Structure 1
Amino acid sequence: MWRGEALDRREFLKAAGLAFTAALSPRSLMALECADAVYAAGFKAPDGSFGIATVSERGEIIDRTALPARAHGMAYSAAAGRVVAFARRPGTFAMIFDPSRQTEPVIVSAPEGRHFYGHGHFSPDGALLYTSENDFDGNRGMIGIYDVRDRFRRIGEFDAHGIGTHDMTVSDDGTMLVIANGGIETHPDFGRTKLNLDRMEPSLVLLDARTGALVQRHGLPSPLRQLSTRHLDIADDGRIWFACQWEGARNELPPLAGWFAKGEDLSFISLPEETTIRLGNYVGAIAVNRRQGLVGLTSPVGGTAVTLDARTGRVVSEEIVRDAAGVAPAAHGIAVSSYDGRFNETRSEVAWDQHIVRISS
């Protein structure tokens, strides 16, 4: 299992039921039955519409669900049996759907004065959904809390103790929220314009998941204040991996990834200079393969996918992937998608969006 949040493929088929499998085309059904793993991925279709697809590890599209607009990140809970697709910043919708189509999708909207930041995560028991949000007039990041069992009714919020709150996750035992505050001020009146690149405040934060109390906050040292801390994943030893995007001078080569844990300082990975150059000072997604002790990084800017040893941070492999986007653990190694339609060895007519999430193993 992957962090307790992925079903065995046979369990997925059993949960989906006869009605779901009967509705699939023969090609899609064969792709599902032969898949080593199944993923959810947002996409843009050739006609300009948006959706989310279930996809085999080989990249074959199994099923599609329409979205009202472009999505960014996703979250999956086997306990809740749901996938959530979050709107791309500064969007205000999150669509929750059952990948087996046994229930109708639910769309929730961010409260007035807020927009979603494109990411969120379920509690381990599937009872709560946490979302990264922007209180744009207050210029502060927030974590929204939604009750899964009451049609995702919003029941509270926590201060994220930073601005530009982007990715977030939950510790395996459900006691801590882990937050990447990118440090970049934005406001929907200005679209996606970054308003404070000269005074960024990136940080990595741990909160008590029960009370919202601040457990730990790591700001970045002054020379790295333009290093936006954006994405997260957790290894099986509790080490929290983070990935960054550099907003400073192009000729500089800052560290782009690292790890920390509760009670520990940040540790940055010393990537080879040529790897940092190939990544284009930009890591768009990160994922840990716990079974194999690997960490995957992708860069659409550099057109590169990099795999690291999760114990040492050493580069295991690099691959040129034009417009590399999503990354997730595979049965063997790391699954990678791209904006130009590639998902592992298959190329589709759709443009995959920034993130993918594994929903069966």
Structure 2
Amino acid sequence: MRPNRRLFLGGLAALALPRPSWADAGSPAWLAAAKEGEDYCLHGLSESGESLFALPLPARGHAAAAHPEKPLAVAFARRPGTFALVIDCVTGAETHRFSPPPGRQFNGHGAFSADGRVLYTSEVVAEGSEGRVGIWETEGFTRMGEYASGGIGPHDLKLLADGRLIIANGGIQTDPTDRSKLNIETMRPNLTLISKGGTVLEQVTLPDLHQASIRHLVLTATGVAFAMQWEGDPAEVVPLLGHWVPGQAPEHYAAPEGEAERMKGYAGSIARASDGRLAISSPKGGVVQVFDAQGQFLATHARADVCGLAALGPGFVTSDGAGGICALDEGLRPLAKLDLAWDNHMVAL
């Protein structure tokens, strides 16, 4: 059969067309979910806190995962939720919508592989809260498989450069309908290192803090820093920030007495600045606490209902429930304010 010259030339033309990039979406620095009136949406934010685009969500969002090259974002439902939306951040179009298998729930976080061809999702079996990592191809976002997360209630997960995953298994078994906590006395959170093929390579627990649920992660130069939420006696004050280097025991980074209490036992987000400093936020306490790269406490900064947190050069940026976006260097400096309520996270692009 003779080749169709028109189709051949059309194919060459398609190859010559530039592929859309994040620059075509306005080069946003972060993605953040929000509530506007009774509606929910996902915003792309510039480094000055300006909203570059806002895309509708069917219900409350939590975190998002950004494709490493294409201007695509996957927005996840707040747990327990079953929607994940793939959004073209240039056109505002929903390109795909997918759900976990029956009896599963997304747990709010996901991560793309370095080449963008695979998406990993944090999931639970609704009955019992056993953790799963969902594996999806990213052309049509169909499921390729899954493997066990190594614990109960996985939340955040981070992909290492070599393809291994570190998973924060929060340890809390929840009711699949109302999120009530069922195993606080016996919960056993852990950090699990999993191979690209799904084999558990290493796992560490917190025997002295078994009621500190490990929730959120940020990669460091040598391992991963983790933020926790205390489920034990409210009168007991415990460290909410830690660091783990695979092959070693985890470390806890504690604020001094009098400062630690201000977090109210709850770290909602975590971020690492370019100079290695770490920050954790507490919407319950209305504070952000900053530590140096070695885990020494530096400062507490007050901001009502603050939770969203990301790096901004050698400092940080925050978002809060009153619609505020602030830079955090020596102190909090307002950048912008929108008429909405920001949700828990700011996802760096």
| Same fold by TM-score greater than 0.5 | yes
Per the alignment, residue 194 of structure 2 pairs with 207
Distance 2:100 2:187 in 1: 25
CA radius of gyration, larger in: 2
Per the alignment, residue 187 of structure 1 pairs with 175
Q: Which amino acid aligns with 2:108?
A: G
Per the alignment, residue 251 of structure 2 pairs with 267
Kept after mapping to 2: 8 A contact 1:121/1:131: yes
Mark the CA change 1:65 to 1:215 in structure 2 (over 3 Å): closer, same or farther: same
- Of the three residues 82, 86, 106, the one matched with 2:96 is 106
Mark the CA change 1:94 to 1:13 in structure 2 (over 3 Å): closer, same or farther: closer
Distance 2:256 2:276 in 1: 20
Per the alignment, residue 178 of structure 1 pairs with 166
What displacement does 1:79 show?
A: 2.6
- Over residues 170-202 of structure 1, what are the superposed CA-to-partner deviations in whole Å (9 max), with x where a residue is unaligned? 11232x11100111001323x111111111111
What displacement does 1:354 show?
A: 0.4
Asked if 1:72 is matched to 2:57, the reply is: no
What displacement does 1:43 show?
A: 0.4
Distance 2:21 2:148 in 1: 40
Per the alignment, residue 232 of structure 1 pairs with 217
Kept after mapping to 2: 8 A contact 1:124/1:173: no
Kept after mapping to 1: 8 A contact 2:119/2:135: yes
- Of the three residues 36, 40, 59, the one matched with 2:31 is 40
Aligned-partner SS, 1:58: coil
What displacement does 1:141 show?
A: 0.6
- Over residues 59-114 of structure 1, what are the superposed CA-to-partner deviations in whole Å (9 max), with x where a residue is unaligned? 22121000011011111122343221110011100112122228643211121000
- The correspondence of residues 148-159 of structure 1 with structure 2, limited to 5 A, is 148-149=138-139, 151-159=140-148
Distance 1:57 1:228 in 2: 31
Per the alignment, residue 124 of structure 1 pairs with 114
Asked if 1:329 is matched to 2:308, the reply is: no
Q: Structure 1: which 5+ residue stretches go unaligned?
A: 1-11, 21-31
What displacement does 1:13 show?
A: 9.6
Asked if 1:258 is matched to 2:242, the reply is: yes
Distance 2:94 2:132 in 1: 28
- Over residues 123-163 of structure 1, what are the superposed CA-to-partner deviations in whole Å (9 max), with x where a residue is unaligned? 111111101101122531100001012x1111110101100
Identity, in percent, stands at 37
- Over residues 211-256 of structure 1, what are the superposed CA-to-partner deviations in whole Å (9 max), with x where a residue is unaligned? 10011111221x4111101110101x23210010001111111111
Distance 2:22 2:63 in 1: 24
Paired residue total: 324
Distance 1:268 1:15 in 2: 37
Per the alignment, residue 158 of structure 2 pairs with 169
Q: Which amino acid aligns with 2:269?
A: A
The root-mean-square deviation of aligned C-alpha atoms, in Å, is 2.0
Q: Structure 2: which 5+ residue stretches go unaligned?
A: 1-18, 327-333
- Over residues 322-355 of structure 1, what are the superposed CA-to-partner deviations in whole Å (9 max), with x where a residue is unaligned? 1011111113401110112111122210100001
- Of the three residues 272, 275, 281, the one matched with 1:288 is 272
**Relative contact order (C-alpha < 8 Å, sep 6+): which is higher?**
1
Give TM-score scaled by structure 2 length.
Answer: 0.88
